[in-house]
Amino acid sequence: MIPRRPFGKTGHESTRAIFGAAALAAMRQERADRVLETLLEYGVNHIDTAADYGESEARIGPWMRQHRGDFFLATKTGARDYAGARESIRRSLDRLQTDRVDLLQLHNLVEPDEWERALSPGGAIEAAIEARENGLVRFIGVTGHGTRIAARHAESLAKFDFDSILLPYNYTMMRNPSYATDFEAVVAACRDRGVAVQTIKAVARRRWRGDEERRFSWYEPIRDPSALRRSVAWVLARPDVFLNTSSDATILEAILQAAAAVEEIPTDDEMTGDVRRLEMEPLFALGDLERI
């Protein structure tokens, strides 16, 4: 079974591997049901979805009627204004077939104009606070991608008392000195404040180079079994973060197996060897790639 640790100051003991439900975005219900059953096999007790993840919320909904009490359920809104976020929250609850989510997150809050709008009077944060006061949401978080997000999250935490953050963390990403510095700073702030840290892209290999592969995620994942295990172990070697699984459901069980069996921390030589052998590359760079 996958180990658990406190999810920040929420009082919930979440599995170190959190199911990234973007994997359900384009699935039929029968296939989604089989994927969700896999979570029970490994004891995963935390699901992370979003209003913008295609049909993900709708696929989780029927399953929640039986299993709602088994999971810490999180979703996200990409709306930046109060009215849009309020409507998004209610639509998510309808699709998830529940009267409350455990965590509502402001989705990919990176760009300055969107950040200012969402966290100002009349912004999405007011809808999130209202939903929490009305018992529709228990906790509030913020997520994002790209090389600027760690620094942006630090600004978000200074602006509002978020319960969680989500951002990229993998070996190639942390070879960027600027990002690594920002990441360490925001994680230290989260540790001091009891804020949960979720990480994404643990098993990202690189951006797709051609059209020769059938694609289940916007990036090419690591499929080499030993390299995948090392990548998962490298992330989970850090005790103060959680690993959100890939949007490619075909490697979900491999990730969960790796998360349940972490024994040794991979060496730097092993990780750099995988980078060279698999021609791994960072997913994010300054510019238009930040918005992915």
Looking at the predicted structure, is the pLDDT value of residue 200 above 50? Answer: yes
In this predicted structure, what is the pLDDT of residue 167? Answer: 98
Is 66 buried (19+), middle (13-18) or exposed (0-12) by CB count in 10 A? exposed
Dihedrals phi, psi of 42, to nearest 5 degrees? -105, 5
What's the pLDDT tens digit per position in 136-173? 999 999 999 999 999 999 999 999 999 999 999 999 99
Q: Which tops the pLDDT comparison, 286 or 16?
A: 16
CATH topology (fold) of 4-204+214-279? TIM Barrel (3.20.20)
In this predicted structure, what is the pLDDT of residue 288? Answer: 46
Looking at the predicted structure, is the pLDDT value of residue 209 above 90? Answer: no
Q: Please report where in the chains the tokens 């075909």 appear, as a residue.
A: 250
Residue spans per domain, the chain: 4-204+214-279
Dihedrals phi, psi of 244, to nearest 5 degrees? -90, 130
What's the pLDDT tens digit per position in 93-109? 999 999 999 999 999 99
Question: What is the value of pTM for the model shown?
Answer: 0.96
Tokens of 40: 């029970």
CA atoms within a 13 Å half-sphere pointing along the CA-CB vector of 163: 21
Q: Which tops the pLDDT comparison, 164 or 209?
A: 164
Q: How many helices (H) and strands (E) does the chain have?
A: 10, 12
